[in-house]
Amino acid sequence: MMEGILSYEVDYGTDHRDANVNRRQFCTRTLMTAVAAGLPLPVWAKFNPAEAALGGRTRTFDPHQHYPSEVGIQDVESGCRFFFHHHRPEEYGHFHTFGRDEYGAPIHIVMITINAAGVATKLTTTNQWVTGTRYVDAAGMSTFIDRFSLKPANTKQPQLASFIHETVKKHRTAIDRLYRERDAWLAEQKRLGNPSPFTDKRHEELSSYSLVST
Ligand SMILES: [Zn+2]
C-alpha cells in the first residue's frame, strides 16, 4: 500500500504542460518588450541580486571567485564596495560589503546571505580571518555602518548597488546589535583564555540575524 503511494506519479496531461510553455513565452516576450522600451518591469519579474552579480556566468563553489569581478562593485565617490560569491554548501551565496577607513583600508560591514530566489535571508558578522579586514569595536562600526553608501549612479550596476545599499540601511539597527554581540563574543573568548580569537578557524560567523521567519 505504502509503495503504491510513493510510486504514484501525477500526470497533468499535455494541456497543462502546453499552458506552462505558453505562459513562459508570454512572460519572456513581455519582459523583453518592457526592457527594450525602458518601461518599469512587471511585478513578477522580480530583481534577483545574486543573478545580477553573476551576470549569466556559472556560480562556482570557490571563495576566491568573486562576482561580478575580483574587486566587485564600487561607489567611485564613497569607496564603499561589495562582491558576491559562493563557498558554503548550505547557502546559495552571499555578498560581502565593505566601507573604507580614513587610510583607504577596507572595513567589512556585513555579510548578506541570498537564497536562490534572490531574497536576503541572513546578516552575519564574520571573523577577521574571513575577510582580512581590521577589527573595529561596535561603537566604531556604528559610524562605518552610517557612512556606508552606494549611490546607484556612481556604480556600474545601479540596481544591484541600490539593493545592497537599501538592505544595509533597512537593517541598520540589527547590524549595530550584531556588532555588540560580536564584542560580547570577543570578551568571552578573552575570558576563556583564547590567545587569538581573530585567527581561530573554529569561529567563522561571530553573530548573525535571520531575515526570514522560520
Ligand atoms: Zn564569503
Alpha helices (H) along 121-200: 128-131, 138-147, 158-170, 172-191
pTM of the predicted protein model: 0.79
Task: Please tell me whether residues 15 and 118 are part of one structural domain.
Answer: no
Q: With 50 as the cut, is the pLDDT of residue 209 above it?
A: yes
Closest to 73 (Cα-Cα) out of 56, 55, 58: 55
Asked whether residue 43 is assigned to any structural domain, the reply reads: no
Grouping H, G, I as helix, E, B as strand and the rest as coil, residue 61 is strand
How many distinct structural domains can be found in the chain?
2
Asked whether residue 44 is assigned to any structural domain, the reply reads: no
- How many angstroms separate the CA atoms of 51 and 53, rounded? 5
- Tens of pLDDT along 172-193? 999 999 999 999 999 999 999 9
Task: Please tell me whether residues 32 and 79 are part of one structural domain.
Answer: no
- Tens of pLDDT along 111-129? 999 999 999 999 999 999 9
Q: By the 8 A CB rule, do 112 and 100 touch?
A: no
- The Cα angle at residue 59 between residues 121 and 34, in degrees rounded to 5: 75
Distance from the CA of 31 to the center of ligand 1, in angstroms? 32
Please give the residue range of the domain that contains residue 10: 2-37
Distance from the CA of 149 to the center of ligand 1, in angstroms? 20
Confidence of residue 14 (pLDDT cuts 50, 70, 90): very low
Distance from the CA of 93 to the center of ligand 1, in angstroms? 8
- Tens of pLDDT along 19-75? 544 555 555 565 556 556 655 555 556 899 999 999 999 999 999 999 999 999 999
